[in-house]
Amino acid sequence: MDSTKKDEDKLNSTKCEIYEAKEENERLKRMLSKMVKDYKSLQMHFQGILTQKNSKNNIIATSNNIHEEKEQVELVSLSLGRSSTSRELIKKELLYDDQNNSNKKHNKLLFDGLELGLDCKFTQENSFEELKKENINNERSVLVQNYPPSKMDYCDEEFLQQIPQKKARVSIRAVCGTTTMNDGCQWRKYGQKIAKGNPCPRAYYRCTVSPLCPVRKQVQRCSKDMSILTTTYEGTHNHPLPFSATAMASTTSAAASMLRCTSTSSTSQQFLPNIDQNLHGKFNFTNNNAPTFHLPKTSISTSQSHPTITLDFTTNSSSTNSSSSSFNSYSTLCNNFKSEIGPSSYLGRPCYSNQPFITSKNNQNTIIEYSSGVRNSDDEWIQKNAKVSHLGFDHVT
């Protein structure tokens, strides 16, 4: 008798579960159809804006291909390079710049900024070779932008042929007590080398979030100050990133944006407004937590071989300006570092900064320093980081 009742209960419970599953299924279907509808609506809206923009700017879109390519560029990705897929597109963009004044160029930068995070153009059909090829093209595009405009004949096929296909790099220098910085991504070590001029071994890692991800990073301690860890990122993630990895990715992406927005001869003042707008474009999402991203003055130079931008999060007592720029990626990074380093490491050293400034400039790299207060105790360290964390998501005035 009891067993029959139990069976009935079990049956009822199962029926309930099936019913709930069906309900859930229906709900998900409705959500999906709504999302598809919204997506189509957004797509149409986007097309409309594009058309409007093009007509306003008198840009002649000669074929649907141009639209398609442009759309690809304007899709968002966390990339160290551009999303352009062909040299032809580079030329079109350069022509676009040429035809438009600075205001319109600003618009372009906003679109460039939208490269961050939403590049969905990679499909499962992409072969590794295609991805590699695309990466090379991306990096080449970066290089095209790094060449001084004065020296560039934008339409010169020969010139474009001469541009070396070297990858752009973003280097992060930070005080770190562990072997590698916690940037939120998954990495696998594939090599280690003693590089010339530094007795500390250089470790080579590749991203393992996706088996086809071409992103590499190098980690090496500074020979002069063993507490400083230099992490150099190269390549473009071809997969969605974990939330915890977006800070570093957006930082490197922003740095790469700076890299490509500058030439060896330009000064910070000339291009920073554009970069600032660019970064706003990246971070002004509708999310309540949307951070405001200010990038202070700086200037960039790149080497001819591997264009490298170095973000130096190590300490510097000669802090200039304690003004109120907020640098979300920086602050999030600080929190990441903090979790790795621990508050008691390197007491007495100044903390990470919120205000970058140039400390050195040569043909190879530009060092951008961020500095703020001095860490006097564990408590103060914690307070500062808590503050930084807050600053990361609020506009600071």
Partner DNA sequence: CGTTTTTGACCAGCGC
Partner DNA sequence: GCGCTGGTCAAAAACG
Choices 118-126, 185-193, 238-246, 292-300; region in contact with DNA by CB under 7 A = 185-193
Nearer to DNA, 15 or 189 (CB): 189
**Residues 163-182 interacting with DNA (rule: CB under 7 A):** 164
Under the binding rule (CB under 7 A), the answer on residue 242 touching DNA is no
Nearer to DNA, 148 or 164 (CB): 164
Nearer to DNA, 43 or 305 (CB): 305
Which position among 155, 195, 347, 382 is part of the footprint of DNA (CB under 7 A)?
A: 195
Choices 125-133, 192-200, 331-339, 347-355; region in contact with DNA by CB under 7 A = 192-200
Under the binding rule (CB under 7 A), the answer on residue 216 touching DNA is yes
For residue 33 the two structure tokens come to: 């159809």
The residue with tokens 């621990």 is 342
Say how many C-beta atoms besides its own lie within 10 A of residue 81's C-beta.
27
If phi > 0 it is left, if psi is from -120 to 50 it is alpha, else beta; for residue 170 that is beta
Which position among 218, 302, 331, 335 is part of the footprint of DNA (CB under 7 A)?
A: 218
Nearer to DNA, 39 or 190 (CB): 190
Nearer to DNA, 189 or 395 (CB): 189
Count of residues in contact with DNA, rule CB under 7 A:
20
Under the binding rule (CB under 7 A), the answer on residue 188 touching DNA is yes
Is the separation of the CB atoms in 377 and 325 below 8 Å?
A: no
Under the binding rule (CB under 7 A), the answer on residue 221 touching DNA is no
Under the binding rule (CB under 7 A), the answer on residue 222 touching DNA is no
Closest CA to 92 of 118, 74, 122, 66: 66
Phi/psi at 90 (5° precision) = -55, -45
**Residues 296-325 interacting with DNA (rule: CB under 7 A):** 305-306
Q: What is the rounded distance in angstroms from the CA atom of residue 334 to the CA atom of residue 130?
A: 36
Shortest reach from residue 380's CB to DNA, in Å = 33
Shortest reach from residue 285's CB to DNA, in Å = 31
Which position among 15, 37, 56, 193 is part of the footprint of DNA (CB under 7 A)?
A: 193
Q: Which residues contact 331 (CB under 8 A, 6 or more apart)?
A: 354, 388, 389, 391, 392
Choices 191-199, 245-253, 282-290, 292-300; region in contact with DNA by CB under 7 A = 191-199
Q: Which residues contact 351 (CB under 8 A, 6 or more apart)?
A: 315, 334, 371, 372, 373, 374, 375, 381, 384, 385
If phi > 0 it is left, if psi is from -120 to 50 it is alpha, else beta; for residue 342 that is left
Q: What is the rounded distance in angstroms from the CA atom of residue 105 to the CA atom of residue 59?
A: 13
Which position among 189, 285, 386, 390 is part of the footprint of DNA (CB under 7 A)?
A: 189
Nearer to DNA, 214 or 350 (CB): 214
CA 95 remoteness from chain centre: 26
Residue type for position 157: E
> Which residues are at the interface with DNA (CB under 7 A)?
164, 186-193, 195-197, 202-204, 208, 216, 218, 305-306
